[in-house]
Structure 1
Amino acid sequence: MLDGSAAVNPNGSWLNSRGIWLTYCLGILLLHLLILSFPFLSVAWAWSLTNLTHNVAMFFFLHTLKGVPWESADQGKSRYLTQWEQIDDEMQFTATRKFLTVVPVFLFFLTSFYTKYDSVHFAINFCSLMFVLIPKLPQFHKVRLFGINKY
């Protein structure tokens, strides 16, 4: 393991691939343009829905899904870990983790600006931001609140 010969967990390594950060940002932009194309939505609601959709998807895919879709070299240890916990072999404060933490904050700032700091939009988007940021804190690594997602 220390000599670097161990197999890398593919669940966490794909986020370090070339161009994935750009692809991720372009995906958010395409989501926003898709939502913006609905004529009955205002710009403020389009930004709020973009933010909410992104944060709910991020919470679901990174903080609720556990395990690996194939046999990994860790003899089943990663099947109890969420996708977030598997990123970069459970190391904290890596570039990938920082990027995935900064993106929701940046999206929240953009949403707040384009909603003209409306209090209703701000409250909804702030709750959404906390919903996705709190599980990313190192203090919540391998923590299952109220036994939810324990197994």
Structure 2
Amino acid sequence: MNHTSQAFMTAANGGHPPNYERIKEEYEVAELGAPHGSTSVRTTVINMPREVAVPDHVVWSLFNTLFLNFCCLGFIAYAYSVKSRDRKMVGDVTGAQAYASTAKCLNISALVLSILTVVITIVAVLCIFFSASRLYT
């Protein structure tokens, strides 16, 4: 024992170890009926969530698959999203989080690359249109 624990034992109990029987009797509760004596029952309720919320990104993946499917990244993201949902249904939270993280990265990549493709296409079409209009005027 270190010096601080010895000081605690000597200060609290006059140098004697704590009386474990007395402590046990103070917190003992009868199994049936009301508690004996004038002691009251102390209860503690701990609310634990049954399920950890793991976003599976299925809707985002489906949107990317149907509208912005750049190099099939949306479809691959959808496959990972479905795997994430399956893992969540089984109860494997760690696996569901891993698949959901991969689906999220693929969805971000598909979205960014698709937006860049649309912007580059619009700029190219406008450049071609203006250069063609200059030739014919």
TM-score, normalising length: structure 1: 0.25
Higher relative CO (Cα under 8 Å, sequence separation at least 6) belongs to 1
TM-score, normalising length: structure 2: 0.26
Greater Rg by CA: 2
